[in-house]
């Protein structure tokens, strides 16, 4: 598209531009709306695998390149929110194995997820432990060469249809967040308590672990290392949530510009109204600022910066809030059409909303940023 000039920024290299072109060609064939979210997610994951694009989310060499992840989510979200979801969950759901898993576990789990024939899930949140991971109640009790897992997880994306789950549980090596461990659990061991239906449909569920026995060989990392593993995975993928929001914002700006230049009001294009020009200007600035924050955070991570929590939180916070503003403007200037169920502006406003909540709500990102600023200045 004509507005892809950011691909020439110094954050990106020729390999990233080539990858972006492959994703763009794939995304151009996708419908924006899917009637059956479960079936569509399966189909999209398989198509992404056949196109070789899931190799960026589930790399064979174990190196998660955040700039490629961000490019894929930026482009896919602009075309299809569910395609972005299918791509992202294959990476998030196996990130702990990619980064910390044994060679045996990698060989067992990753090829199917990379091919898109098996769906993956990241089971961290619980009914009383969302952003407050230290409040986790699911337990992992050692029993010889096995662990026994009991508890509930909720708001689990791909819940109920995934064949592979990374599960976090309290193993008790220390109080609070220091006493968590990480395990791989096959899909058939997870009991579906309820499927959760959201404004923008995608597979989501509340799940139970009822005395699930997990071999010690399926533990990821050392006992008590679960919190560090979870935060390391989120440190990689939080910037990519901002990238998805950026893609949604680009779609909103497209809708806003098309409406302003094709709709006539009082004998002149809607674009001639000053308030419409102001909305377009604000949307364009939001898109540009989000892109700078997202690709800066991704570049820093790819350069080997140990922790990019501050930068990733800035990218996620700004991009998701900006996308919400842009989507709202697009709906507003479509008038009645902006709230017609299934219309492009209405679909976009539903797709954008969840990004301000998952992988750390906007309020939590502000806490992370504020603490980082305090610590930087104190140090």
- Number of folded domains in the chain? 3
Q: Of the residues 288, 346, 359, 363, which is catalytic?
A: 359
Has residue 1 got a pLDDT over 70? Answer: no
Statement to judge: residues 312 and 243 lie in one domain:
yes
The answer to whether 181 touches 133, Cβ cutoff 8 Å, is no
Q: How far apart are CA 362 and CA 241, in angstroms?
A: 12
SS3 141: strand
Statement to judge: residues 151 and 194 lie in one domain:
yes
* DSSP 8-state assignment for residue 129: B
Distance in angstroms between the alpha carbons of the first and the last residue of the chain: 44
Distances (CA, A) of 78 to 4, 228, 285, 317: 12, 32, 17, 18
Statement to judge: residues 232 and 213 lie in one domain:
no
Instruction: Please give the pLDDT value at position 31.
Output: 80
Residue 196 maps to which CATH number? 2.40.110.10
Statement to judge: residues 190 and 102 lie in one domain:
no
Of 115, 138, 167, at which residue does a domain stop? 115
Q: How far apart are CA 175 and CA 194, in angstroms?
A: 30
Statement to judge: residues 291 and 204 lie in one domain:
no
Dihedral sign for Cα 80, 230, 186, 156, please.
negative
Instruction: Tell me the pLDDT tens digit for each residue of 94-131.
Output: 999 999 999 999 999 999 999 999 999 999 999 988 77
Instruction: Please give the pLDDT value at position 3.
Output: 73
Pair of tokens at residue 282? 């604000």
SS3 28: coil
pLDDT band at 73 (very low <50, low <70, confident <90, very high): very high
In this prediction, residues 184-190 reach a mean pLDDT of: 97
In this prediction, residues 203-232 reach a mean pLDDT of: 96
Pair of tokens at residue 233? 């995975």
Statement to judge: residues 35 and 82 lie in one domain:
yes
Residue 56 maps to which CATH number? 1.10.540.10
Statement to judge: residues 235 and 363 lie in one domain:
yes
Statement to judge: residues 10 and 152 lie in one domain:
no
Instruction: Tell me the pLDDT tens digit for each residue of 225-239.
Output: 999 999 999 989 999
Cβ neighbours for 278, distance < 8 A, ≥ 6 positions apart: none
Residue 331 maps to which CATH number? 1.20.140.10
Statement to judge: residues 106 and 24 lie in one domain:
yes
Has residue 30 got a pLDDT over 80? Answer: yes
pTM equals: 0.94
For residue 345, which of 263, 240, 274 has the smallest C-alpha distance?
A: 263
In this prediction, residues 13-38 reach a mean pLDDT of: 91
Other CB atoms within 10 A of residue 195 CB: 13
Instruction: Tell me the pLDDT tens digit for each residue of 331-366.
Output: 999 999 899 998 999 999 999 999 999 888 999 999
Pair of tokens at residue 148? 């026994």
Instruction: Please give the pLDDT value at position 2.
Output: 54
Cβ neighbours for 155, distance < 8 A, ≥ 6 positions apart: 125, 130, 196, 204, 206, 358
Statement to judge: residues 232 and 333 lie in one domain:
yes
Statement to judge: residues 160 and 219 lie in one domain:
yes
Instruction: Please give the pLDDT value at position 263.
Output: 86
The answer to whether 119 touches 41, Cβ cutoff 8 Å, is yes
Q: How many helices (H) and strands (E) does the chain have?
A: 11, 10
Statement to judge: residues 234 and 363 lie in one domain:
yes
Alpha helices in 303-335 (DSSP H): 309-332
Instruction: Tell me the pLDDT tens digit for each residue of 247-296.
Output: 999 999 999 999 999 988 887 787 888 898 999 999 999 999 999 999 99
Instruction: Tell me the pLDDT tens digit for each residue of 298-321.
Output: 999 999 988 889 999 999 999 999
Of 189, 223, 257, at which residue does a domain stop? 223
Domain containing 9 equals: 5-115
Q: How far apart are CA 24 and CA 28, in angstroms?
A: 6
Is 321 one of the catalytic residues? no
Q: Which of 130-134, 146-150, 317-321 has the lowest mean pLDDT?
A: 130-134
Of 115, 142, 168, at which residue does a domain stop? 115
């Amino acid at each position: 598209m004509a507005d892809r000039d950011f691909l020439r920024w110094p954050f990106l290299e020729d390999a990233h531009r080539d990858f972006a072109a492959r994703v763009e060609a794939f995304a151009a064939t996708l419908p924006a709306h899917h009637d059956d979210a479960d079936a569509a997610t399966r189909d999209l994951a398989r198509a992404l695998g056949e196109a070789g694009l899931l190799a960026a989310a589930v790399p064979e060499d174990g190196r998660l390149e955040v700039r490629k992840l961000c490019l894929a989510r930026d482009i896919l979200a602009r075309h299809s929110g569910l395609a972005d979801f299918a791509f992202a969950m294959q990476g998030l759901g196996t990130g702990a194995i990619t980064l910390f898993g044994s060679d045996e576990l990698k060989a067992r789990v990753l090829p199917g997820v990379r091919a898109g024939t098996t769906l993956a899930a990241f089971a961290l949140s619980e009914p009383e432990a969302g952003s407050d991971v230290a409040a986790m109640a699911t337990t992992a009790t050692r029993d010889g060469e096995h662990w026994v897992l009991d508890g509930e997880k909720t708001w689990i994306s791909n819940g109920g249809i995934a064949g592979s789950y990374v599960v976090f549980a309290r193993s008790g090596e220390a109080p609070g967040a220091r006493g968590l461990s990480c395990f791989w659990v096959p899909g058939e061991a997870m009991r579906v308590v309820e499927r959760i239906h959201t404004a923008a449909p995608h597979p989501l569920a509340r799940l139970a672990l009822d005395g699930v026995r997990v071999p010690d060989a399926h533990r990821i990392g050392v006992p008590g290392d679960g919190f560090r593993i979870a935060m390391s995975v989120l440190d990689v993928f939080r910037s990519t949530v901002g990238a998805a929001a950026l893609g949604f914002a680009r779609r909103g700006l497209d809708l806003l510009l098309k409406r302003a230049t094709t709709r006539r009001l009082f004998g002149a294009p809607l674009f001639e109204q000053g308030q419409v020009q102001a909305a377009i200007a604000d949307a364009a600035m939001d898109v540009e600022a989000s892109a700078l924050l997202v690709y800066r955070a991704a570049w820093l991570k790819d350069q080997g910066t140990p922790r990019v929590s501050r930068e990733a939180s800035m990218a996620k916070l700004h991009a998701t809030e900006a996308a919400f503003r842009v989507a709202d403007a697009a709906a507003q200037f479509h008038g009645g059409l902006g709230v017609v169920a299934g219309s492009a502006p209405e679909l976009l406003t539903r797709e954008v909303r969840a990004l301000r909540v998952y992988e750390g709500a906007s309020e939590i990102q502000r806490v992370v940023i504020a603490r980082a600023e305090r610590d930087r200045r104190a140090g």
